[in-house]
Each structure stands twice: as structure tokens, then as C-alpha cells.
Chains A and B, each alone.
Chain A
């Protein structure tokens, strides 16, 4: 049985400062980027006709008292990571497609927590905040159940009832899956309002009209789903650096270089390559935050190549930053960078130097072999001009 833990309006709750801040207030996440669309909305705003993804003008026309809350992507990631770790703490191998939603297979946990009710109780204790829990044979059905569950009582769908239960659900459920989300408006225009109506269509007709997304949507509506893609439990590698008053592109790029060097020098990395990172910043304006997840085309351990991949992302900073943070979210296999075919002597010498540095760090800790790096040589405050960064041969 798959358990779905759903924390409604998670992004808004974190950005507003807690569930209490949402009570009785019409709030919405302020639009970011060029598309002037509001994000999560509070229950009060929803009651006045405002929905997530609505245009800002229409939202304000429907609810003039609407208060816009700046998004806090870094706070959301941190809060969700803490919940995900707590769920892993009860023994769950979780899949988390987005902050606020997590799935795990409860079958393996029954021996730890006695029975299904024991697993649900342990889940509630781990999450430690109001959450909706759905239990069903597939994750799509478990998500549908969690959307109908009350905050104190899990909604459990029996294996035999999955297809019948899903048939009565609205097609808007498909919006929770990235691959099928674009189908929702099209299905609405065609007058298909429930998953049962979608499932009743012929498989070939749906595939012909909507392609792979249509095939997947119909399979979901019929109660089939892919197996869970659980994440691996790993040490969290994260490095931060205060930027002071210098925010030029050059200074940001240098600070990024220091963070990459420090991450690569961490002993917990154990020579593994890096597959994905989250680059985030604490902004000067109103303590706002910015973050960008970057998945490398191949797992990397070369600081120069990592910097080349990440530096252009800094151009997306919406305001000057106070601090920059780089966190590893996925590791690759050990030492994936290919060496050059020619120039073997130089490569061998570098390899020996790398071994020597690694040996010294193993004995004396990660701060043993350092070099001085100019972060912001023109800074008016002298201690912000240079910093120590791990020496990477």
C-alpha cells in the first residue's frame, strides 16, 4: 500500500510564517518572473474565487483585500527537507515530487510500527504539522485520497475499490503530475470532467489525440501507476558564504568558486561526483530568498566545469544577495571525470598530488590544505577581500 502525505498550501504556509498566519486572511504567493500569476492561495482567498495560477489582475479584481506574500523558495526547501528526513527517520523510503507531497510504501514498515494504523500514527508524529494522509494501491490513487482526507483521519482506499474510486474523481487531479498537467484544460474543453469519462475512451483514441501524456493519463485513471522512485538517504553537503557589500558578477562568480571548492573538499563526499545541486541566495530585499536547482548533464567532480555550469544561473538573481549557498542534492559514482589520453606524465603527477592532499585531509581534517582566494579585492572592508578555500590540485 502506498501512503501519500500531503501538506496543502505548503509553500504559502512557509512563506507566511506558519499555519496561524493563514487563518482568516486572504493571502497569495506573489507572482515571480514575467508571467503575472499568483502562486498558492489561502482558504479565505479561495473562498473569494482566487485560485493558484490565476492572473494577478483577475485575482485582485475578485478579492481586493488579497495580500501578496513574497515567495521563499529556500525556506520551503529547508522546511520540506526537515520533514522528508523525519519521514525517513521512521524507516520510510520516500519519493517527493515537490515540496508538500511525499509517497512511500507502507508494506515494509508494518513490522516496525505493528500495523497500517501504526504506520499512519508514526507518519503524523514525524510530520508534526497538519497534514492529509491518503492510502491506496497506487501513488496516484493515494494522492486523490489524501486530497479528500481530513487532517485528523487518513482516507484509505481498498485495493478492490481503486478503479471505482478514481472514476468519480475530477480530471484536475492529473494536474498534480508534470507529464499529464497540460492535458487538464484540453480535457475540460472536450467536456471530459471525470477520470471515469477519460477511462471510458478508447486507448487508441486517447493516444492519437494526446500522445504519450494521454496514454499515461488513461492508465492513471484506470488505476495503474509506475513504481515509486524513492530517493537515496545521503549526508547533506552544503556550504554558505556571506557576500558583504559586493554583488558584482565577478564577485558572485568568485564566491561561487569558493563554495564549489569547499564542497568538493568535504570528506563526506568520499570522492563521489556531483549530479545535482541547489544554488540559493538570501536576498538583501526584505530577507527574500532565491533558489535554482541544477542537474548536470553528467556527474561532475571538476571545479572548473561545475563553475561553468553554475555561473550563468547567478544572472537570474532578482536582487542583490547577502549570502550564497550551494547544496548537493544528488551524488554520482566515484570519480567520473575522464582523464586525458595524452600527457600521461602530467596526469600521473596530478594524481599523486591529489592523493597526497587527500591523505593530509584524512589526517588533519578538511581545513588542512588551503589556498588564499580573492573574493572581492576592491571591497572596502578588508576581511571581505580574501578568503581561504580548499586547495584542489
Chain B
């Protein structure tokens, strides 16, 4: 038995998001009830792996607080413990 090297604690995980006007509407099958906060992170533009993301802190219809972001380079959606 051998334990694989774990990812970092806040490693982004892929999530299914339905968006409308570039805003998340349904996250992992749960409708978005409220947007608490929105921010942009742009970093490492001087390196080969720049970070260019739009973050949303949301409350879903079940009352769950989630943080998701859209990777502007690839268009993919991720959830993250932020």
C-alpha cells in the first residue's frame, strides 16, 4: 500500500457550471441564489504560466457557500477553497 502525493490544500477542482452573460447561474446542479462577491486575479504574467481568473463567491439555493472561478485562458470552471 502506498499513499500518492496529495495535491496542495486549495487545489482547484473542475466543476460543472452553467453560465449566462459570463456569470455562473447553476453550479454543480444547484441554482445560484446570490452572488456575495466578485473579483479578478491576474498574476504571474511575466512567467510561462500566467494566472488569469474571474472569481465568484456564491450562495446556492441549498444555502451552500461556494467559491468558483473561470480560467479566462481556457474558459474552464473550477471550484476552490478560498
A and B assemble together: yes
What residue of chain B has the Cβ atom nearest to residue A370's Cβ? B6
| Interface membership of A304, Cβ < 8 A | no
B46, A284: Cβ atoms under 8 Å?
yes
Q: How extensive is the interface on chain B, given as a class?
A: 20 to 34
What residue of chain B has the Cβ atom nearest to residue A373's Cβ? B9
Question: In the complex, how many angstroms separate the beta carbon of A84 from the nearest chain B beta carbon?
Answer: 29
CA distance A383 to B3 in the complex (A): 21
**Majority secondary structure, B binding face:** loop
A381, B43: Cβ atoms under 8 Å?
yes
Question: In the complex, how many angstroms separate the beta carbon of B43 from the nearest chain A beta carbon?
Answer: 5
| Interface membership of B74, Cβ < 8 A | no
Question: In the complex, how many angstroms separate the beta carbon of A283 from the nearest chain B beta carbon?
Answer: 11
Within 8 A of A (CB), among B60-82: 80-82
Chain A residues whose C-beta falls within 8 Å of the C-beta of B81 in the assembled complex: 382
What residue of chain B has the Cβ atom nearest to residue A368's Cβ? B3
What residue of chain A has the Cβ atom nearest to residue B44's Cβ? A245
| Interface membership of A177, Cβ < 8 A | no
B80, A383: Cβ atoms under 8 Å?
yes
Mask of A266-292 contacts with B, CB within 8 angstroms, 1/0: 000000000000000000100000000
CA distance A69 to B36 in the complex (A): 52
Question: In the complex, how many angstroms separate the beta carbon of A322 from the nearest chain B beta carbon?
Answer: 6
A244, B10: Cβ atoms under 8 Å?
no
B8, A387: Cβ atoms under 8 Å?
yes
Question: In the complex, how many angstroms separate the beta carbon of B9 from the nearest chain A beta carbon?
Answer: 4
CA distance A364 to B44 in the complex (A): 36
Question: In the complex, how many angstroms separate the beta carbon of B17 from the nearest chain A beta carbon?
Answer: 18
Within 8 A of A (CB), among B35-62: 41, 43-44, 46-47, 51
Binding site for B on A (CB under 8 A): 244-245, 284, 322, 363-365, 367-368, 370, 372, 380-388
Closest 9 CB pairs of A and B: A365-B2, A382-B10, A382-B82, A386-B9, A367-B5, A383-B10, A364-B3, A368-B3, A245-B43
